[in-house]
Structures are given as structure tokens and as C-alpha cells.
Amino acid sequence: MNKDRFKNNQAVLLVSFLPLLIHVIRHLMTYSYFPLLFTLLLVIVFTILWKLRIITSALLVKIWSIVLIGYGIIRLVLSVLVLLTGNSVPSDVYFQIDIWYFSMSVFVLFSGIWIFRRKKSEFYI
């Protein structure tokens, strides 16, 4: 495999973590620690499974892509529901669903789909 291609694939994996990191930082600013705890739990579980050789790196990447796809779909469905229900949603939730939220949801969904469709051999870590 070409080294440049390997670096590009690693870069895509790292970029796929950015929306989650941004989400965690935004919630930390409002003193909500649940996203940080969930992210830490996810990273710890994935790291332990990978280090103990219970799971291969290719399978780990596939699972991560499925998590991204699910997260993106849930965010898009939530934004559509909020826009459809309108007045019955609390105002703090309603005003969080903006173009930034929608664009991050689309980015997460497409990066998950892109990673899922890659060959196994391209993402050995």
C-alpha cells in the first residue's frame, strides 16, 4: 500500500473524531459532562478491546463507522422532528438546531458512510 494513501486514511479517521470533540466541548461550556463521559467510555472500551486483541483494527474501524452513521442519522432525525413540531419543543432545544448542527450531522453521516465503504486493508492501525 502506498504510504500517502495510508496517511490520508488515518487523516480521515482523525477528522471523523472532530465533530464528536466539538460536541463535547460545546457541552462542557454549559457544564454538561455526559458527552465527555460517554466519549471517554467509548475510547476506553475501544482501546481495551484493541490492545487485548479481542477486536482487529479493521473491525474497530467498521464499528466506529457504524457509530458515526447512527449518530448522524439520529441527529438528522432530531433536527427534522424539532423543525416539524416547532412550538411544542422547549426554546433552548429549538435554538440549538441551526445550520451548524445540521451541517455537522451531515458531515458525521457522510464520513461514517465513507469509512464504512473503505477496504479493510486501508485502515490497519
3-state secondary structure 63-84: HHHHHHHHHHHHHHHHHHHHHH
Tens digits of per-residue pLDDT, 80-107?
A: 888 888 777 777 677 777 788 888 889 9
Reply yes or no on whether the pLDDT at 3 is more than 70.
no
* pLDDT > 70 fraction of the chain, expressed in percent and rounded: 82
Is residue 42 pLDDT above 90, yes or no? Answer: no
Question: Is pLDDT above 70 for 122?
Answer: no
Mean pLDDT lowest among 5-19, 39-53, 59-73? 5-19
**pLDDT > 90? residue 31:** no
Are 115 and 13 spatial neighbours (Cβ–Cβ below 8 Å)? yes
**Cα 117–Cα 121–Cα 125 angle in degrees, nearest 5:** 105
The pLDDT, as a whole number, for residue 70 is 94
- Across the chain, what does the average pLDDT equal? 80
Q: Sort 60 into a burial class: Cβ within 10 Å, 0-12 / 13-18 / 19+.
A: middle
Segment among 4-13, 47-56, 83-92, 104-113 with least mean pLDDT: 4-13
CA distances from 24 to 39, 66, 69 (A): 8, 19, 18
